Amino acid sequence: MKVLVAFSLLVLCVVATTSPSGQECLCTSDQSCWPNAAEFSQLQTQVSQPLIYPIPTASACYPTSDPSGNCTEVIDNWTDGDWRSSMPGSMEAPNFETLILKNGTIEACYLNTTITGTCGQGRVPVIGVDARSVVDVQAAVNFSVKHNLKLVVKNTGHDFLGRSAARGSFVVWTHNMKNITFNPAFVPQGAPANETDDVVTLGAGVQWGEAYAAVDQNGRMIVGGSVGSIGAAGGWLAGGGHSALSPTYGLGVDNAIEISVVLSTGEYLTVNNYQNPDLFWALRGGGGSTYGIVTSVTYRTYPSVPAQIFLFEANVTNSSAMQELVGELLQSQTQFTDYGWGGYGTITNQSLIIFYMAPNMTNETATATTQAWTNYALSLEPWGVASTTTIYPIPSWHDFYEILISFGIQDGANFMATSRLLSKDTVSNKYKEVAQVLINCSAAFATVAGGKVNQIDPDSAGLNPAWRNAVVETLCEIFWEDGASLTEIEGKIDQLKGSIKTMYDLTPNDGAYFNEASLFEIDWKETFFGSHYSTLKSIKNKYDPYKLFVVAEGVGSDDWNKELTCRF
């Protein structure tokens, strides 16, 4: 598709504000540089929908903040990820809606209105564009560049790093770009005519629940995330995109064939291995909201096949036996993923739950490939390990997804997390020490690497090369209640930092998954991007000449201050 923007917009000059220190700074809503009503009215004439004025999720419970709101609706839907994602000001984790002021007070909008009595805007953007088309996105981008605005891009708000919000910012909300189209003989632009794939093209706002339902109705399946409310064509892919199907079919970045994107120049590009291959490379794993605004992604699909479920549950009364059990699980990950098993699990100091799935596997093979693990767990029974194993068939991947959502995964909690991509070397040689860390933090884990993921060239995409050596992702999380004091929150963060340091010291070469990690990761450039960082930064500088797209610990953010508002 040809460039849709006029030449005059391509040569816009950025009129930057200047801080007292002489830094170039972005404009936020509390500054005199912020566009006036007439300028926003002019923007309104260029977009298809009324401008949006995002408000925090709980605003309806504060009549002075949202007089027409329905607090009962807020209370009833607080933990519903689909409901939260349907609002431009709502985040998966409410703590990323809040702002800690320099004096230590917290500006927030709590569900329990008695905590503060007032609803603060916090980090929620103040105005933006409800993008329904490429033209809408271009108008928003051009306006942001013209006025040098602090910009955020938001789809669903599922984000462990809070990149979907920023104090006093302008937002491009892509959530309503819901187009889904199928093509059984798709040829990427610029590719040879005989290079065809059976694909689905998803608009930027399509969520995994919507994508799975559509693809399943066509007798196909697609590599995708475990939570239906997550965006299928946004940050999930930009961070790598893992799936329980990944040990068999690869990561999201390995299944994206073509991507459409709007740059900070306003230019609209369709990129793939034949057109702007460097940008295509970066958009697959180099981080979201960094190079441009993705408007659609074309993914390879696969024939729907039956699958096997492996469910294992253990209750443990002996701490030494617990460490042995988790350690053995870590050692077994390579075998599990090489056979095609993928899935999720949880660890506490007294329990272990495994919920795995393997596509296109017989019941006999499922039993044979899990027997060694089952026998090992049974051998620990004299030491206080009581375990059960269940194996059963399901018709398709979509049925596995339906089981996952039946567990009632909930949003709406204040939380932060740290992740680690454990390599084959780590699970072979550091399993006991790592097992204890995971037990101590009551970890979750995702068997979403290994197998096919390890067989793909580490330099085939901008993704952190650590993925190509990993067999399992582990996560340690912290939670706190609304109204917690700054001291209490800092205490929780110190706890998280302790887990980060301990795991980093044990596994310094293993890296982390950018989409499910912490703002406090050690050596974030190496941890998130590995040896690809310098190449990714050069690509960012090439395609984002106006330095419009900057997010926490994203490529190029090392050139900005802590608030990501002023460039060094």
**Could you tell me the residue ranges of all domains in the chain?**
40-173, 180-303, 307-530
Fold designation for 180-303: 3.30.465
Q: Which CATH class is domain 40-173?
A: alpha beta
HSE of 390 in the Cβ direction (CA atoms, 13 Å)? 10
Measuring CA to CA, how many Å separate 37 from each of 16, 51, 517? 20, 12, 39
**At a CB cut-off of 8 Å and minimum separation 6, what does 253 contact?**
237, 240, 241, 284, 285, 461, 462, 463
pTM: 0.94
What is the model's pLDDT at position 19?
40
Residue 451 backbone zone (phi > 0: left; psi -120 to 50: alpha; other: beta): left
Looking at the DSSP bridge assignments, the partners of residue 406 are: none
Closest CA to 332 of 441, 472, 453: 472
CA gap 85, 57 in Å, rounded: 10
Determine the pLDDT at residue 23: 55
Q: Where are the alpha helices (DSSP H) in 101-160?
A: 134-147
Q: Which residues of 479-512 are buried (b: 16+ CB within 10 A; e: fewer)?
A: ebebebeeeebeebbeebbebbebbbebbeebbb
- Centre a 10 Å sphere on the Cβ of residue 544 and count the other Cβ atoms it contains: 19
Give helix then strand counts, H and E, for the chain.
19, 22
pLDDT of the residue at 257: 98
Nearest to 337 by CA among 139, 167, 469: 469
At 66 the pLDDT is 79
Q: Residue 405 is encoded by which pair of tokens?
A: 């959502």
pLDDT of residue 48: 98
Q: How many residues does the chain have?
A: 568
Q: Residue ranges of the alpha helices (H) in 407-532? A: 424-429, 431-440, 452-455, 486-506, 524-529
Kindly give the confidence (pLDDT) of every residue in the chain, 568 residues in length, as a single tens digit, with 9 standing for 90 and above.
333 333 233 333 334 454 433 458 999 999 999 999 999 999 999 999 999 999 999 999 998 877 888 999 999 999 999 999 999 999 999 999 999 998 989 999 999 999 998 999 999 999 999 999 999 999 999 999 999 999 999 999 999 999 999 999 999 999 999 999 999 999 999 999 999 999 999 999 999 999 999 999 999 999 999 999 999 999 999 999 999 999 999 999 999 999 999 999 999 999 999 999 999 999 999 999 999 999 999 999 999 999 999 999 999 999 999 999 999 999 999 999 999 999 999 999 999 999 999 999 999 999 999 999 999 999 999 999 999 999 999 999 999 999 998 887 789 999 999 999 999 999 999 999 999 999 999 999 999 999 999 999 999 999 999 999 999 999 999 999 999 999 999 999 999 999 999 999 999 999 999 999 999 999 999 999 999 999 999 999 999 999 999 999 999 999 999 999 999 8
Task: Please state, in angstroms and rounded to a whole number, the distance separating the CA atoms of residues 108 and 110.
Answer: 6
Just give the CATH number of 307-530: 3.40.462.20
